[in-house]
Amino acid sequence: MVRRLLSAALAALVLASLPAASASANGDPAFLRFGAGYYDINDDEDAGEFHFEYISDWDWWVFTPQVGIMATTDAAAYVYAGIRMDLFLGRRWVVSPQFAPGLYHDGDGKDLGHVIEFRSAIEVAYRFDDRSRLGLSFYHLSNAGLDDNNPGTEVLTLHYSYPLTSAFD
């Protein structure tokens, strides 16, 4: 466990030493992203999932910071902060791998084994003329072996990303 914590600290140090934030290279604004989905799609403790995120308009090397909160209909909750990378397939389609550590509370839902959980996600979204996006995400939530109990869970969500510049136009 100490080795994993040291590896995570080293990775954070490397990321922090990369060139400082600069305006988004693709010209996209910051986003408010909200959506709903199906929590624990591969197991018997399924529930509804709702999330809200802020996606920054700053790039950190090739990554963009994001923060969010997720809640389920079983009173589970997850608060996280992480990074994402937008890969554009033409003008309209965006594929975004994401990674975010965070704090999890199981409520009446699935016990994931630890309060610290890691979210690994892939998103495919359609980008409209106003830069808003409608997308589908699949993510895995797991404690990465911080506890002997590490069942993990998979979540499928539909979401809308609202560009913050639209609010002020």
Domains of the chain: 21-168 (2.40.160.20)
Confidence of residue 45 (pLDDT cuts 50, 70, 90): confident
Q: Is the pTM of this model over 0.75?
A: yes
Which element (helix H / strand E) includes 119? strand 116-127
The average confidence (pLDDT) of the chain is 86
Closest CA to 63 of 96, 39, 93: 96
Q: Are 32 and 54 in contact (CB under 8 A)?
A: yes
Q: Where are the alpha helices (DSSP H) in the chain?
A: 2-17, 164-168
Report d(CA 58, CA 55) in Å as an integer: 9
Look-up of token digits 């003329």: 129
Residue 168 banded pLDDT, cuts 50, 70, 90: low
Q: What is the mean pLDDT of residues 146-153?
A: 92
Query: How buried is residue 12: exposed, middle or buried, by Cβ count under 10 Å (0-12/13-18/19+)?
Result: exposed
pLDDT at 26: 61
Strand 77-84 vs strand 64-72: parallel, antiparallel, or unpaired?
antiparallel
